[in-house]
Each structure stands twice: as C-alpha cells, then as structure tokens.
Amino acid sequence: MIEFKILKKSEKSQARLGVLKTCHGEVETPAFVPVATQGVIKTLTSEEVLETKTKILICNTYHLHLRPGEKIIKGFKGLHKFMNWPKALMTDSGGFQVFSLGFGRDLGISKILKKNSEIELKTQPNFLKITNEGVLFRSHLDGNKVFIGPKESIKIQESLGADIIFAFDECPPPAVDFKYMKKSLERTHLWADICLKVKQSDQALFGIVQGGRFKSLRTESADFLSSRDFDGFGIGGEFGSDKKSMIDMIGWTLEKLPKIKPRHLLGIGQPDDILKIIKAGVDTFDCIIPTHYARRGIAFTRFGSINIGKSIYLNDKNSLDSEKNVVGFVKNPLYQRKNSGYFGVNKKCSCFVCQNYSRSYLCHLFRAGEITALKLLTFHNLWFFNSLVEKIRDDIKKEKI
RNA sequence: GUGAUCAUAGCUUAAUGGUAAAGCUCCGCUCUGUGGAAGCGGCGAUACGGGUUCAAUUCCCGUUGGUCACC
C-alpha cells in the first residue's frame, strides 16, 4: 500500500515535488534510492544508512532468491525486520539480471552503449535461456539452473515483503534491432499482465517500460502499461549512446505515463544526470554510483569527483568536499567552478566524514586496503547524493527549476 | 681465509651471442536496476671495470655485494 501525492508541479520543467507514503515512512520526492542488492548497503549498517538521510532502499530479487533464499527472509516477516531497516523498501524484479548476467557478461557491455562500439548480437546469451514462460538462469554462484518468470518473481517479492515491487521484465542488450526489441517488448507486456494477475499482497506493484531506443516502442510500452492497474512505473532498458539521447528517451516515456502516479528510473544517476532526469519528470531513481564508486576510492564533491587513492591526497589536510585538487569530471561543465559547485550547492558538506577526517587520512586508509576507507567514502557519497537531491527539491519548491 | 654460487624494472622472476618479457607496486583511464570485481594504457632494468666478437645482458678475467659450505 502506497499513496503518492504531488505537492507541486514546476512551471519551468516537468519536475514535480511529491511525497510517497508507505507503511514504512514517507519519502519526499524526487528521491534518490540507494542500491542494497543483497539486503545491505555494502560496508554500512542499516543504522548508519539512516544517518545518510536515506529514506528508501532497493534490494534485488534474483540475488536474495539465490542467497539466502526468500524462505529465510519470510521467517523474519520480510526484509525490513531481517535487515533491521525501518524505512521504505523496493525490490527489483530480477529482470535486469537477464541482461547483466547474460548479454552483459557475454559481451562486456553496459546499458549505455559507447559510441563507435560494434557488437555482434546473438539471439540468446550463453548463460541463460529466455522464453515466454520466463528465464532459465545459471546461478552465478554455483552454476545451478534457476528458473524465474513473472509468477516466480512476484511470489519471491511477496515473501521479501518490500513496500514497492517491480514487474518482471526483459531488458534486452543495447543496439538490438527493432524486430527483436518488438518481440521482447511483447514478452515484457505479457509478463506485466501476469504479474498483476498473480499478485496477492497489498504491496505496490510498478510496471516497467521498455522499448529501447525506439520511440514508437517506448510510446507503445508506456501506453500499454498506463492502461493497466499499476501503482507506479519503472523505466528500464537501454538509453542510447549518450546523455542527450537518454534524456530524450526518458521524455518520450514520461509524456505517456499517467501524471498522478510515481515514476522510477531504474539504474540511472551519475551526478550530472540527476538534475536532468528530475527535470524530465522522474520521481525516484536508483543507482549504484555512490556506493560502488566509493569502494573504488572515488568520492563526489561539489566541485567534481576525486580518487582518494591518488598520492597527491596523502598530503592533503582538507576534507573530501574541498575545491582543491579536484581532477575528475572536468569534462562536465556542471562541475566547473563558475557554477560555484554542483547546481548552486554552495554549502560545504556537513557529513561526519567531512567534519572529522582529512583527505590525507582517508587516502592512507584506502591505500592501506583498510575497509574503513570504503565505509567512510560510502557514507560521504550517500550523504552527498541525498543532499544534492534535497537541494533540487528545495529549488523546485522555490520555482528555480 | 678457502671454495661454490648468484647479481636483469621499486619488488619477485623470465629470456637470448643479434629489438630484454611478465606478475605485483607505482602513474593515468573505463565503469549507471552492484563482485571490495574486471579491463585498457603508461613509467621503469641487464651491479661496476676490462677482454673476446661484426655484435656481449649472455662467453672470459677482475672488482664490489649477497647466499651457502668448509677451516
């Protein structure tokens, strides 16, 4: 059971200010949704995640089904109790793993295709078999065969007990031709109806729009799903070869979706994407960037990203969020100084990492392979992303965006 | 002291009488519904002094240093 209220609609863009009410608290939208694939934000406890201003997390059906299995979690009456997370939760359906553990692994590609890359597409990836019934996986853990279709996915997600669950979709690799994409889309729509039909819980169910880079298919998909009784919508799949085409594709889709229902963008959220996708009308979005990059030593600041492992930071007594020695993301004009930091964020980061620890110390910890480095960077990055979105909400309220 | 043996990149090891190779480290880069993963690129070496040879890191002699054995 969720309730979504739109508090304000921007005059300047498609951005909306809203509140998503769940049985586990309210989420002010637009909101960032950190990714807790295995029921944890890697390196942090649930208590620590609460301190990052996070109000909602997304976990993964496929991963939790394989380990520890939904029966264990159901024994705790769901994920909230199991992971001691009192706030809202989403679970991703597992459909994306058709891509990321199949085509993605076969071809070594991501869903935003780089320009000039040529990929030879196969009809079926090596590690799984897709039929109208569902997907036969090979577990990435032990190679065992696992079958998940729409019925299975919903059943697992009901056991997991998140507030918001997603329909099982097929996420085809980038650059597939129109014919395959159309066929795949029909399958995703078939599965969407099955998900609606088999769901017995009162969890909110979001349908997922696919259609790849084809406008007619994106539109068709949005129209189809809009005609069904979903509580909200996810936008998935490939997003073209550059940032502009990504925003265009999101635009085609959102235009067709019912305005009163929440829209979640799946898996997108580089810092320089955030303002754009919110202006396009996205209410929530998840992304691994702040947490995954933290574990590679990358910290986000108002002025750009830094790689804390670099030797120049060994002698840097500033906090992470300092203007000095920022070398990453210079290609992105939004990071340049004349804008006084990200989208007008002019206050120094107030997270406890920035208040208490120097870049020098963090650099030492990271180079020494100490796990505390990963933990502190993860905390900072989540705080940074949440603060950024908080600032954007404020700007919508003040009619700046 | 005598004998043996070794000396190649910051580290650990290849190879060859004819362009000195790799792993780790180090320096860059990639990463969007998550492997603390992976990949790409870069810097960087024949201990020192002679000799033989068209050509020596390689063969010979010496020096220095390390290791082992013996007195």
Percent of chain A, pLDDT > 70?
A: 89
Nearest Cα residue to A228 out of A284, A188, A175: A188
Q: What is the pLDDT of residue A124?
A: 60
Active site residues per annotation of A: 92, 286
Same domain, A102 and A190: yes
Same domain, A318 and A371: yes
For A272-301, write each residue's pLDDT tens digit.
Answer: 899 999 999 999 999 999 999 999 999 998
CA of A297 to C1' of B37 (A): 14
Same domain, A298 and A280: no
Q: What is the pLDDT of residue A335?
A: 40
Query: Is pLDDT larger for residue A348 or for residue A68?
Result: A68
Same domain, A20 and A108: yes
Specify the CATH number for the domain of residue A73: 3.20.20.105
Across residues A156-166, what is the average pLDDT? Answer: 98
Q: Which of A259, A287, A315 is the last residue of a domain?
A: A287
User: Containing domain of residue A176, as a range?
Assistant: 3-287
Q: What is the CA radius of gyration of chain A?
A: 21
Average pLDDT, chain A: 89
For residue A372, with 0-12 CB atoms within 10 Å meaning exposed, 13-18 middle and 19 or more buried, which class applies? middle
CA of A369 to C1' of B68 (A): 38
Q: What is the pLDDT of residue A86?
A: 98
Q: Which nucleotide is nearest to A239 (CA to C1')?
A: B32
The answer on pLDDT for A302 being more than 90 is: no
Q: What is the pLDDT of residue A329?
A: 46
CA of A97 to C1' of B58 (A): 55
Pairwise CA distance, residues A25 & A89, whole Å = 10
Structure-token pair, residue A203: 């969890």
Same domain, A29 and A90: yes
Same domain, A342 and A392: yes
Q: Which nucleotide is nearest to A291 (CA to C1')?
A: B34
Same domain, A231 and A313: no
CA of A172 to C1' of B14 (A): 46
Same domain, A132 and A172: yes
Structure-token pair, residue A85: 């997370």
Q: What is the pLDDT of residue A338?
A: 36
Contact present, A62 and A97 (Cβ < 8 Å): yes
Q: Which of A272, A287, A302 is the last residue of a domain?
A: A287
pLDDT grade, residue A333 (50/70/90)? Answer: very low
Q: Which nucleotides of B are covered by protein (CB under 7 A)?
A: 26-38
Q: What is the pLDDT of residue A130?
A: 87
In degrees, to the nearest 5, what angle opens at C-alpha A110 toward C-alphas A105 and A116?
Answer: 115
Same domain, A245 and A99: yes
Q: How many C-beta atoms surround the C-beta of residue A70 within 10 A?
A: 20
The answer on pLDDT for A119 being more than 70 is: no
Query: Is pLDDT larger for residue A222 or for residue A130?
Result: A222
For A5-19, write each residue's pLDDT tens digit.
Answer: 999 999 999 999 999
Query: Is pLDDT larger for residue A326 or for residue A131?
Result: A131
The answer on pLDDT for A200 being more than 80 is: yes
3-state helix, strand, coil in chain A (%, to 5): 40, 20, 40
Query: Which residues have a Cβ under 8 Å from the Cβ of A118 and sit 6 or more positions away?
Result: none
For A83-113, write each residue's pLDDT tens digit.
Answer: 999 999 999 999 888 777 766 666 566 776 6
The answer on pLDDT for A369 being more than 80 is: yes
Same domain, A183 and A245: yes
Contact present, A74 and A159 (Cβ < 8 Å): yes
Contact present, A173 and A99 (Cβ < 8 Å): yes
Pairwise CA distance, residues A258 & A115, whole Å = 33
CA of A369 to C1' of B57 (A): 38
Q: What is the pLDDT of residue A380?
A: 97
Q: Which of A229, A262, A287 is the last residue of a domain?
A: A287
Q: Which nucleotide is nearest to A37 (CA to C1')?
A: B34
Pairwise CA distance, residues A297 & A305, whole Å = 10
In degrees, to the nearest 5, what angle opens at C-alpha A275 toward C-alphas A270 and A279?
Answer: 130
Q: What is the pLDDT of residue A99?
A: 73
For A220-266, write each residue's pLDDT tens digit.
Answer: 999 999 999 999 999 999 888 788 889 999 999 999 999 999 999 99
Q: What is the pLDDT of residue A341?
A: 45
Domains: count for chain A: 2
Same domain, A265 and A325: no
Same domain, A234 and A371: no
Structure-token pair, residue A245: 């085409």
Q: What is the pLDDT of residue A136?
A: 87
Q: Which nucleotide is nearest to A111 (CA to C1')?
A: B32
User: Do the strands A164-166 and A204-209 form a parallel or antiparallel pair, or are they unpaired?
Assistant: parallel
Q: Which nucleotide is nearest to A97 (CA to C1')?
A: B33
CA of A311 to C1' of B26 (A): 10
